[in-house]
Amino acid sequence: MSAAEHWQAVAELTAPGQDYEIVEQTVRGGLVCRVFKNAPGSLLDLLTASEPWGDLIYLRYRGEEYSFNEVRSRTAKIARFLRERLNVGRGDRVAVCMRNYPEWVVSFFAPISFGAVSVAFNGWWSGEEIEYGLKDCGAKALLIDEERLQRIEGRLPDLGVPAVAVRTPRTPTERIAIFDEVIAAADESALPAIESDPDDDAMMLYTSGSTGHPKGAISTHRNVLHALLSWELEGRVASKLANITPPVEPTEAQYRLLVSIPFFHVTASHVCLLGGLRAGRRLTLMHKWDVEEALDTIEREKITHFTSVPTITGDLIRAAREQGRPLPSLLGIGGGGAHRPARQVLETVEVLQNALPGTGWGMTETNAIGTLIRNQNYLRHPNSSGRCSAVLDMRFVGTDGNDVPRGEPGEVWIRGTSVIRGYWNKPEATAKAFENGWLKTGDIAYIDEDDFVFFVDRIKDIVIRGGENISCGAVEDALYKCAGVAEAVAVGIPDERLGEDLAAVVVPEPGVELSAAELQEELRKHLAGFEVPSRIYFREEPLPRIASGKFAKRKIRAELTSA
């Protein structure tokens, strides 16, 4: 499909009177953006719009099933508890920190349903990091599972944050309520009827930055909803150009998604959870990633779509090939979180009977959209991340601040309706990231003559390990907390399965002997498990530096990868 055909289809589907009509509108911050005229007003509208689907299953988890009706009812009960018992009001932040349990979904929607802000914490965080998040966002309440509660409970009294515990054997205390007991004790409640503005804050996700602590990326209802509608529009474009009419969801066909990645990532929260709710899809939640369980689940439940990071989709395709299981129910294999190797793209159609691949590029800061590519286009351009969304603009900027010619790499700058309004309580970080409405992504890419975008590098000192963003600066800060460490750097090194793995190079203090195992154990006190370097190298001489005095990371990385 040529660029001309693609943009002509977009123009026809977004013309006046069409479902996806696009108009220009001034949004929060005074920016003039392209918006979908018929977009819902708030994320609450997604819940209320699911009423006609009633008893259709929305969530499955280890034999448990929850219909759309049940999710709405449980959401209303938790929302009432937050408002009436914990005094959470409009604009207040409520933190959610747990595994992908069905309770995560209810906990996420409950604050949003009455105008509060849901803050999704990284479930891998240590107690120290959870404490930072609670203080940073000013959480009025915390919904948390037992595993993560054990990491933070000793700090809760001093923090003064009441908690609602999920999947726990505990009895309630003055500061900790029990989720199941709240549900059981509540009278039947309806979702609150609230007036909200599309530009009100709706949710916050934490993203690892190149310097120190993670930053809270704050999104409005409009930001999030326009990501969902952008994907829908691209699906309509693909169907129009292929001259096919997909079934009406969920009345003619209820697609079934297998969710393998945490909801605190935009790929899962937006593509799977919110997109699934809007379309009436069934989500099967995995306790944790296990490729054998995934294969069995896909076959048993006739899963139709699977979207995950390249590490996991690669595991699935590899195991399916080795075991001769073509998974005929699968119609699509989506990607996100990191670049997918071209070989994996092509193997999708070689191994799986009916599935076609798709992917895109996006960030937490763009609510997961930016570019999108799927089906035959992706097979023809397996190294591309696709064409730009219809509600976004992209620039490719050189080091001189000017746009580079087409075909030459530059830093991607992006603006438009899905881009966050900024970082929570971090005006300096927001000012640094934005310029005249443009978000400077730190990613390097080029655009070809047919408007396909190809990402080639990153400016930011971030390692993407199996789809998880790791701040090298935060890892280095933790290394320096360890006794006996004189100098330390953290760098990403290539890994066939993970895409990148995390390595550290450490210079011990004179006369001190350190071991990798001891350092890794100490680091787990300060970092999430995925942030702990899997490889630690020691050297006696000082680390090499560049003229500015900074460590010569490029040289260090090259030495590690050539060893």
Structure confidence by residue, pLDDT tens digits, 285-319: 999 999 999 999 999 999 999 999 888 898 899 89
Decide if 47 contacts 78 (C-beta within 8 A). no
Structure confidence at residue 20 (pLDDT) = 98
198 — pLDDT class (breaks 50, 70, 90): very high
Q: Is residue 412's pLDDT more than 70?
A: yes
pLDDT digits (tens, 9 = 90+) for 254-264: 999 999 999 99
Place of tokens 């000012």: 431
Q: Report DSSP letters for 522-554, one per residue.
A: HHTTTS-GGGS-SEEEE-SSPPPB-TTSSB-HH
Instruction: Count CA atoms within 13 Å of residue 267 on its CB side.
Output: 26
3-state DSSP call for residue 558? helix
Q: What letters, b where the CB count within 10 A reaches 16 and e where it falls short, cover 362-400?
A: bbbbbbbbbbbbbbebbbebbebbbbbbbbbebbbbeee
Structure confidence at residue 306 (pLDDT) = 98
Nearest of 61, 161, 163, 76 to residue 111 by alpha carbon: 76
3-state DSSP call for residue 230? helix
Task: Please indicate whether residue 476 or residue 99 has the higher confidence score (pLDDT).
Answer: 99
Domains of the chain and CATH, by start: 3-38+221-393+416-441 (3.40.50.12780), 68-207 (3.40.50.980), 464-562 (3.30.300.30)
Q: Is residue 547's pLDDT more than 60?
A: no
Q: Report DSSP letters for 392-412, one per residue.
A: EEEEEE-TTSSBPPTTS-EEE
Q: Is residue 456's pLDDT more than 90?
A: no
pLDDT digits (tens, 9 = 90+) for 321-363: 999 999 999 999 999 877 788 888 999 999 999 999 999 999 9
Where do runs of H (alpha helix) occur along 166-309? 179-185, 221-242, 266, 275-279, 291-301
3-state DSSP call for residue 293? helix
Q: What DSSP designation does 390 have? A: T
In whole angstroms, give the CA distance from residue 364 to residue 204: 9
Q: Are strands 410-416 and 392-397 parallel, antiparallel or unpaired?
A: antiparallel
Q: Find the helix packing angle between 516-523 and 472-480, rounded to 10°.
A: 110
Nearest of 269, 222, 217, 226 to residue 433 by alpha carbon: 217
Structure confidence at residue 11 (pLDDT) = 98
Structure confidence at residue 210 (pLDDT) = 45
Decide if 155 contacts 176 (C-beta within 8 A). no
Nearest of 366, 376, 371, 374 to residue 387 by alpha carbon: 371
Structure confidence at residue 310 (pLDDT) = 85
CA distance to 485, 487, 522, per residue, from 481 (Å): 8, 11, 9
